[in-house]
Structures are given as C-alpha cells and as structure tokens.
Amino acid sequence: MAQTIPADVPVHDEAHHEESFWSHYVFSTDHKMIAMQYMFTGIFMGLIGGFFAYAFRMQLAFPGVEVPLFGVVSPNEYNALITNHGAIMIFWVAMPVLIAALGNYLIPLMIGADDMVFPRLNRLSYQIFLVSAIVLLASFFVPGGGFAGAWTFYPPLSSTAEYSLTPLGSSLFVVAIALEFAAFLMGGINFIVTAMNSRAPGMKLYDIPMVVWMIVVASVLFMLSVGPLIAGAVMLLFDQNLGTAFFNPERGGDPILWQHLFWFFGHPEVYVVLLPALGVVAEIITVFARKKLFAYRTVLYTVFGTGVLSFTVWAHHQFVAGIDPRMAHVFTVTTLLISVPLAEAMFVYIATLYGGSISLTTPMLWALGFIATFLIGGVTGIFLGASGEDIYLHDTYFVLAHFHYTFFPIAIIGFYAAITFWFPKMFGRMMDERLGKIHFWGTIIPFNFIFIPLFVLGLAGQHRRIYDFTNYPDLAAYQPIRVFATISLLVMFSFQLVFFYNFFKSMFRGPKAPKNPWQANTLEWTTESPPPHGNWKELPTVHRGPYEYSVEGRESDYWPQNEPA
C-alpha cells in the first residue's frame, strides 16, 4: 500500500548547510551518491576484469608471447586470470552496477520518494561492498597469488591446501565473496522496503515502473538464494583453515555438495542481474517507441513465475557430475520450462515496438541490441538445458559463448543502455549522440565476432580452462579462429575509449539537460537534472493509471499513441 504523507510533514530540508568533501562524497547517505559510489566502483572493477580478459585472450591467441602491459602469462597466472575475470565481472561489476547502482539511483526517483527507507543501512551496504572489493584485490598480492580454481570455486581446488596452489588467495577470495553478499543483502532489504512503502500518493502496485519491479523481484530472489552459498562459503573457509572436511571425500565429505550449494544460488543469480537489465530495456523501448508496454501485467506475472522457476533448475549445471539420470530429466524439463516466460517477455518487447514511432537514439540502440544478443544467449541455453546434449557440450567453449551471450547483454549492454538513458538525469548534461552511436556499433559488432567463433570452437570439442591449445593436435588447427576472436576483443576494447571520452567530457562539458530530455513520463523526469538533495522540492503525486503519470500541474501527454484510436 502506498503511504500518504501528511501535508504538515516537512519533506526534506532544502536549505541544509554546506557539506564537506567527506560527508558529501564518502560518507553520504543520499541514495544518489551511494548509487554513484557503486557505479564507479563497478566501472573500476570492470576495467580490471576487462584487463584480465585481454591478458588471457592474448595468451590463447599467441601462446607464450609477452603480453604488453602484463608480460608472459604463466599457466598458474592464466588460471588466476580466468578465475578472477569471471568472479569480478559477475560479483563486482554486474551486481553492483545493475542492481545496487540502478536500484539505489532509480527506486526513490521513480516512485517519488526523497530517499531510501534505511539510508544508513544503505551507506553501510556500500562500505562493506568496498571492503569486499579491496579484499579481493589484495588477494592478488599475497604469497601464492590470487585464487586460481575457476570462478565457481569447486572443491577440491578451492578447499584443501594439498590441492590448492593458492591457499591464502583462495581464503581471501571466499571471504571477499561472503562480505559482498552481506552487503547486497542490506541493499536488497532497502530496495524492497522502499518500493513497497515509500511510493508517491496515488501510485498503486501496478503503477510501479517496470524497472523498479524488476529490481524488487531480483532482490527477493537474491535474498532467497544466497543463504546456501554464504553457508557454503563459511564451510569452505573451515575446510581451508580449520581442518574440517565438508567437501573432502577422503574424510567422508562430498565435493558435489558444494556444487548444489553454489548453483542453488548460481542460477537464480542469473535472474538477479537479468531482471534489472530487462527492466531498463522496458523503460527505454516504451519511451523511444512512444508506446505503453504491450502487456505490463503479463510481464510482471511472467517475472514472478520466472523467479519461482529459477529455484528449480540449478542441477542443469551438474548433468555430468554423476547425478541420477532420472533427476537429470527433471532438471531438463524445468530448464526448458524457464525459457518460456523469457521468450514471452521478449515477445512483449517486440510487440511494444510494433507500430510505434521509433526513434533510434543511443539508449534505444542499446535496448534493441540487448534484445538481439540476449535472444542468442537464451536460445543457445536450450541446447545446454537438454541433459543428453549437455553431456557433449558440457565445459566446452559452447557453454562459455552461451554464457557470454547472456551476461554481456545483461552487464555491459544493460549498463550502457541505462547510463546513456539516465545520464542527463544523473549529471544534468547530455551525452554526445554521435559518439554514442560510434561506441554502440564499435561494441556490438566486435562482440559478435568474439563469441560466435567460440560457439564454433565449442562444437569442435574445445574444452574451457586450458592454457594452450596448440599442444592439442586436434585443436591446434583452429588457431586462426582464436586469433580472430582475440583481435575482435582488442577492437571492442579500443572502442570503449570512445565511451569514456564521451562520458567524462559530457559530464563536465556537455550541453545542459532539461528536466525531461526524452519526453518520458516516469516520475524521475519531473524533477531537476540532476535532482537536488531530497529529489523534489515537493514530493510528487500520481493521478493516473499504469505508465501514465502526471504530476500536479503537468499534463502527461507524451504518448499520443497510447490508446487505439
């Protein structure tokens, strides 16, 4: 239920005293500043994760060669690079940027609140997240180096000192993961409570913008799935340091147990980051097609259904781990089922575009790029979900390419869609459209050139997590394909410079943004760009139904094609 704020309650102290640098940038409890902290930390970690990808892709294309800025990649370094590339991109880039930064920035502004319900918990959430990132970065510099047992940290490579070449590195890795989950639990509680209790008067449950709903559902999924993994991480720490044997079969433990604990979290985790990105795309295509979402409530029910289903598919990661084949059938069925609601969401998005008056702005290009690439990710997942076929494809580059066709749209395209769309609101200035489009095409084309070849290599039987394929007679012949993928990566990376140039130049020099440059009609566009402390001088009230907001004194008439004539 939306709460009504009595008229005599002061909304926010507009004329508050000057803040010092520390209280404004470092110890702020303002949701917008915390969102920026999450976003910039995520971008920084993304640069590190990207650099790791560059180093190991160079090793794969040109084995043993000295990699500029890195040096020769040793086999153990190679393992540490792929491990931490995966962990960083998922836990320290996708999570903080898509759910923490977007949730923090958008939820209060899109529901008409002046801040989060628990601002100090919010600040603590970021601080713990920052510590987790520092612990992870520190793990690269301890004796033995960073953890090198793959991002899923399966025992025994992660648990017992005798198998692990990086005992201290793996302990710090697990501590960093556990800290980070504690941070996101705090953030998630805030998101859910704020969206449910702080909405502007008149905004009913079905008026909540889709991206806010998506972040709320993602937070619920995270809270329900993360328990087993935190418990597993603690058990792993005990195995590493206190001599327990939860995952050690020689002493009665079971390494497969870890796989269950990990993937019970790991699969819902896909939806934890996917849903915010889906929400971003929904907001953008409705604005730039000048249409309402084709089926708002259907998408919402779909998302709820996907959330429930996402807890029933995890063992599709374990088809070759020795689970009972009859169980494999069950997980095949649930996995194929979960592709239905997502296909439906894609259908709704395409139906929203149909007949709209589409303007291909940079955010719209990213949103359309999301739909196109994510569809490839989704469709290739169906191959892997079928247990019979997975026996052949398991742990090949086909999995790797499938995975990147889901996570790249989510984390990278979702981020670029969101940042190009909300940049005017965040920084009060417009980004350069021409540079934005150059960056879009310079990213999306090489992205496909990196990963389509990897599907081919996977079907040829190329196994992941191997240091040098030229040692394998059957696989050495494919070396030109590996070189092609690596060069595409270099091209894609170089186009990211265009983004950073555009981003920082526009932040300081871009033309001033009006309140509502895109003529959108969600609430965040009714306040100044950037919004003041407290977001509005007077909190807004919502008058009309779903996706047709109008704020006191302003008619919402941006979407002339809302209703059929």
Q: Which residues here bind Cu ion, judged by CB under 5 A?
A: 267
Q: How far apart are CA 372 and CA 556, in angstroms?
A: 31
Q: Which is nearer to Cu ion, 283 or 390 (CB)?
A: 390
Q: Cα–Cα distance between 294 and 296 in angstroms, integer?
A: 6
If the CB atoms of residues 262 and 423 are measured against Cu ion, the closer one turns out to be 262
Smallest distance, Cu ion to C-beta of residue 281, A? 21
Exposed, middle or buried by CB within 10 Å (0-12, 13-18, 19+), for 388? exposed
Q: Closest distance between Cu ion and the C-beta of residue 267, in Å?
A: 4
Residue where the block lists tokens 């990086």 = 166
Taking the complex as a whole, how short is the minimal distance between the CB of residue 317 and Cu ion, in angstroms?
A: 5
Pick between residue 267 and residue 291 the one whose CB is nearest to Cu ion: 267
Q: Compute the 3-state secondary structure of the chain and give helix, strand, coil in percent, each to the nearest 5.
A: 65, 0, 30
Give the separation between CA 481 and CA 472, rounded to whole angstroms. Answer: 15
The number of residues making up the chain comes to 565
> Which is nearer to Cu ion, 267 or 404 (by Cβ)?
267
CB of 465 to Cu ion, least distance (A): 18
- Least Å distance, CB 372 to Cu ion, is 22
Q: How many CB atoms lie within 10 A of CB 480?
A: 10
Closest approach of Cu ion to the CB of residue 410, in Å: 14
Pick the closer one to Cu ion by CB: 113 or 384.
384
Listed residue (17, 178, 166) closest to 79, CA to CA: 166
Residue whose CB is less far from Cu ion, 267 or 425: 267
Do 297 and 207 form a contact (C-beta atoms < 8 A)? no
Decide: 89 and 82 in contact? Cβ < 8 Å.
no
404, 373 in Cβ contact below 8 A? Answer: no
Helix axes 414-427, 255-288, angle to 10 degrees: 50
Answer whether 159's CB lies under 8 Å from 251's CB: no
- Shortest distance (Å) from residue 478 CB to Cu ion: 27
In terms of CB distance, is 227 or 514 closer to Cu ion? 227
The nearest distance, CB 347 to Cu ion, in angstroms, is 22
Residue 370 CA to residue 204 CA, distance in Å, equals: 29
**DSSP bridge partners of 396:** 463
The residue at minimum Cβ distance from Cu ion is 267
Nearer to Cu ion, 267 or 429 (CB): 267
Can you tell me the distance from the alpha carbon of 332 to that of 295, in angstroms, rounded to the nearest whole number? 29
